[in-house]
Chain A
Amino acid sequence: MISLKTPLKKEDIQKLNVGDRVLLSGTIFTARDKACNFLLQNHLAEIENSAIYHCGPIVKGNKVISAGPTTSYRLNQYTPELIEKYGVKAIIGKGGMDESVLNALKGRAVYLSAVGGAGVIYATATKVKNVYKKEFGMPEAIWELEVKDFPAIVTMDSKGNNLYAKVFQKSKKAFVKLILPTK
């Protein structure tokens, strides 16, 4: 288990390999579809060198109630530019991201997977620090969260390795065998 603390440094990132289990502490920012688009059209200095969490939490007052990851592939189109523009060091989500993101991660950032649906465990490790663009609605606002020992797995590293791509290739082989030819 590797402990990581924000702000993440380039050396922290480059040491990580796919399959590593990490515990992340410090500050992270939630961003989904609307927030990612906003961050590209505008500049929010707090995002520089930060970690982005694909998450639309349930928050009541100032308390995080449930806060697991949302599916990341919807955000493929924004992510390379976000990494380029803000120097984002880590992206936390679920389900993996595409080749364009894998390329953008090279040498400078990682993708971490959290367990989809495990909302209460992640909420327990999370506190609200601030919120931007609350008018986007609860799921789409940019929540600045303080996390302590937030558990995640490195699934796309800064060296071009991608666990999801490996699973895809393996499942493709099995799939082709199962559907061809007609039984």
Chain B
Amino acid sequence: MNEGDLKNKIVSLYEKTATELPNDIVFALEKAKEKEQDIIGKEIIAKILENVNQAKTDCLPICQDTGIPIFYIKRTKDYSEEDLRKIIDEATVIATEKIPLRPNAVDVLTDKNLGNKPIIHFEESEEFKIDLLLKGGGSENVSTIYQLPNQKINANRDLDGVRKSILDAVFNAQGKGCPPYIIGVAVGGNIEEVAHLSKKQLLRKITDLNPNNKLGEFEKEVLNEINQLNIGPQGLDGKTTTLGVKTIFTARHPASFFVGVSIGCWCLRRQSL
């Protein structure tokens, strides 16, 4: 593939990501609408689904906050990181104008709006793959990192402590980050690793369970408990607070026990190329 073709494909990837909610999330929302008993909660999910349909039909951004674009790239030897960065930067300018995306990069010092500035993660691979996540600001603001033990929530350095951390994060988020949520969790290493890996779990399908049986059960159990919090769609009551919990556990430093909790809004926009 030459550079021009790849650039066009990335613009199309942006368009699909901003305007089409992934099928597995649409399906989970449809199921939740059937099950939700709260009247306002049910109405809200119906409105969400109506909007998702209209956005897809009219090819318009589902949500006005088109987020920070985050690219996860599996790179073959055909492309250098430098080349890919250049192609993505150019595609971002085109996509921002064409789709359009909201210009979401604000210079911290001058306060000027700079357009959009993607975050790009690379790894080397035999096969070329791009995952794009458009991550909104509201759900990012309620994402957080815990250091265990944490006396305030009675959380020790064990699986039960991780469970309490996740529940605490969702309880504190209430309706601020656009529930029903999708939650990525990473336990271990250091701050940067749990921040990165917890967010990366949001790329997993809603139906995907951790292949480790114990952790697969843990994901189901925590999901069930979060939905007992009665926060509900948009924080206005109901049983549908979260659609899925995805975890990853890595090694930790003996002195540390970090739990990263990345919260995704219902409008979790991810697509692949």
Contacts and interface: CB of A to CB of B under 8 A. Distances in A.
A182 B154 contact: yes
Contact of A19 (B40, B104, B136, B175): B40
Given A65-B60, A167-B236, A179-B168, A117 B175 contact: no
Interface stretch (B63-71, B75-83, B125-133, B249-257): B63-71
A116 B100 contact: no
Interface of B is mostly: loop
Contacts, number: 163
B112 interface: yes
Contacts of A181: 154
Given A56-B102, A119-B63, A175 B229 contact: yes
B174 to A, nearest CB: 6
Contacts of A70: 65, 137-138
B113 A137 contact: yes
B103 A66 contact: no
Interface string A35-55: 000000000000000000001
A172 B171 contact: yes
Interface residues of A, number: 50
Contact of B103 (A115, A139, A153): A139
Interface of A is mostly: mixed
Interface string A126-161: 000000000001111000000000010101000000
Contacts of B141: 71
Contacts of A96: 174-175, 235
Contacts of A89: none
B219 to A, nearest CB: 16
A119 to B, nearest CB: 4
A183 B60 CA distance: 47
A137 B96 CA distance: 14
Given A170-B230, A171-B230, 6 more contacts: A58-B100, A58-B101, A113-B236, A119-B65, A121-B50, A164-B235
29 contacts: A56-B102, A57-B64, A58-B61, A58-B64, A70-B65, A71-B141, A71-B176, A71-B177, A95-B234, A96-B175, A115-B47, A115-B48, A115-B51, A117-B178, A118-B47, A118-B51, A119-B65, A137-B103, A139-B113, A164-B174, A167-B230, A167-B236, A174-B229, A174-B230, A175-B168, A179-B153, A179-B154, A179-B167, A182-B160
Interface of A: 19, 34, 55-58, 60, 65-68, 70-71, 73, 94-96, 113, 115-121, 123-124, 137-140, 151, 153, 155, 163-164, 166-168, 170-172, 174-175, 178-183
